[in-house]
């Protein structure tokens, strides 16, 4: 099963000489992945439609140019236990490759927009 094929990059959040973080829309697959990580650590306040209002995850797609790798990270928001904690989602090599292509497509979209403005 191919996870994270519908990742939508919303914009650049942070970058420096070797790293960049992009805000991405949350998907059910990403939420489920972070829920599983947090459940494994004993947390019970997981994100779902039935949980406390306001509890959610913010997600970033990151690229690390030093080690030539991409990944997904979920940050907990409005939790009494681990608010602000980042959780890296474990990815297969194929998932990493697909996410790298998402980044390339996003960059191409930005280049096209800039070209249209000239």
Residues 6+ apart with CB under 8 A from 36: none
76, pLDDT greater than 80:
yes
Contact criterion met (CB below 8 Å) for 95 and 6: no
Position 91 scores a pLDDT of 96
Q: Lowest-confidence range among 5-14, 25-34, 43-52, 62-71?
A: 43-52
Residue 115 has a pLDDT of 87
**Domain locations in the chain as residue ranges:** 9-117
What is the C-alpha end-to-end distance of the chain, expressed in Å?
42
The pLDDT confidence band at residue 117, using thresholds 50, 70 and 90, is confident
CB 34 within 8 A of CB 57: yes
> At residue 16, does pLDDT exceed 80?
yes
Residue 103: the pLDDT is 94
Tell me: pLDDT of 18 over 80: yes
What's the chain's Rg over C-alpha atoms?
15
Burial class (CB in 10 A: 0-12, 13-18, 19+), 18: exposed
Tens-place pLDDT, residues 77-98 = 999 899 999 999 999 999 999 9
Statement: residue 51 has pLDDT above 60:
no
In which element (H, E) is residue 75 found?
strand 69-77
Q: Which sign, positive or negative, has the C-alpha torsion 4, 5, 8, 9? A: positive
Q: How far is CA 108 from the centre of its chain?
A: 20
């Amino acid at each position: 099963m191919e996870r994270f094929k519908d990742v939508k990059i919303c914009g650049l959040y942070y970058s420096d000489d070797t790293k960049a973080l992009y805000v991405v829309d949350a998907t059910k697959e990403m939420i489920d992945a972070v829920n599983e990580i947090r459940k494994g650590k004993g947390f019970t306040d997981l994100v779902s439609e039935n949980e406390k209002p306001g509890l959610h995850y913010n997600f970033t797609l990151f690229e690390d140019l030093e080690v030539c790798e991409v990944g997904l990270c979920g940050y907990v928001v409005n939790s009494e236990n681990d608010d602000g904690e980042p959780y890296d989602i474990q990815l297969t090599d194929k998932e990493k490759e697909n996410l790298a292509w998402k980044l390339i497509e996003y960059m191409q979209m930005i280049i096209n927009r800039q070209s249209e403005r000239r």
